[in-house]
Amino acid sequence: MDRMTMQIDGMSCAHCVKAVRDALAELPGVEVERVDVGSATVAYDPARTPKRELLDAVRDAGYEPAGA
């Protein structure tokens, strides 16, 4: 498993945290370790879910991974 911490723009409340956590948790091979306002840390199997899909899940939840 690889680990990634991403900074996320546009998050401001507990609803944002839940939306990002839920979006990432739905992906195969992903364990959500921590989500706070402005960041998320996950462990993931890149053979099952590439990094691009993690970033896309955050975007689909309505937020923008910083620097991505």
Take residue 1 and report the two structure tokens written for it: 């498993």
Question: What is the DSSP-derived secondary structure letter of residue 22?
Answer: H
Number of domains in the chain: 1
Distance between CA 13 and CA 56 in Å, rounded?
20
Q: What is the pTM of this model?
A: 0.92
pLDDT score for 62 = 97
The CATH number given to whatever domain includes residue 54 is: 3.30.70.100
Of 2, 46, 3, 44, nearest in space to 24 by CA: 44
Domain that holds residue 7: 2-66
Q: Extract the runs of DSSP E, i.e. beta strands, from the chain.
A: 2-9, 30-36, 39-44, 64-65
For 9-22, the pLDDT digits (tens) are 999 999 999 999 99
pLDDT score for 17 = 98
For 27-50, the pLDDT digits (tens) are 999 999 999 999 999 999 999 999
Is residue 65's pLDDT more than 90?
Answer: yes
